[in-house]
């Protein structure tokens, strides 16, 4: 099994694909645009929680660095 989060990104004003690309380039965090799961998921990103806790915490710090404390 696996654990995932589908996060709504509509409030960012960016298309999910563009936001996913920005998180990869600026934060070095790989997430997947929801559109890969159908058009109904266009305002979502999928986060996989398959890493050990220290790595997930590092990823959260990187996300904060890109997105701020929203």
CATH number of domain containing 14:
3.90.1150.10
- Alpha carbons 68 and 53: distance in angstroms, whole number: 21
pLDDT at 68: 87
> pLDDT averaged over the chain?
92
Residue 43's domain spans which residues? Answer: 4-67
| Number of domains the chain is built from | 1
pLDDT at 26: 95
Burial profile 23-50: b = 16 or more Cβ within 10 angstroms, e = fewer: beeebebebbbbbeeeeebebbbbbeee
Residue 65 is inside which H or E element, if any? helix 53-67
**Cα 60 off chain centre by:** 10
Q: Which residues neighbour 43 within 8 Å (Cβ) at sequence distance 6 or greater?
A: 8, 9, 10, 16, 34
């Amino acid at each position: 099994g696996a654990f995932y989060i589908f996060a709504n990104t509509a409030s960012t004003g960016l298309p999910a694909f563009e936001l996913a690309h920005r998180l990869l380039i600026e934060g070095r965090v790989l997430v997947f645009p929801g559109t890969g799961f159908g058009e109904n998921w266009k305002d979502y990103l999928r986060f996989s929680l398959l890493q050990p806790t220290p790595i997930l915490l590092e990823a959260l710090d990187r996300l904060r660095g890109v997105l701020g404390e929203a």
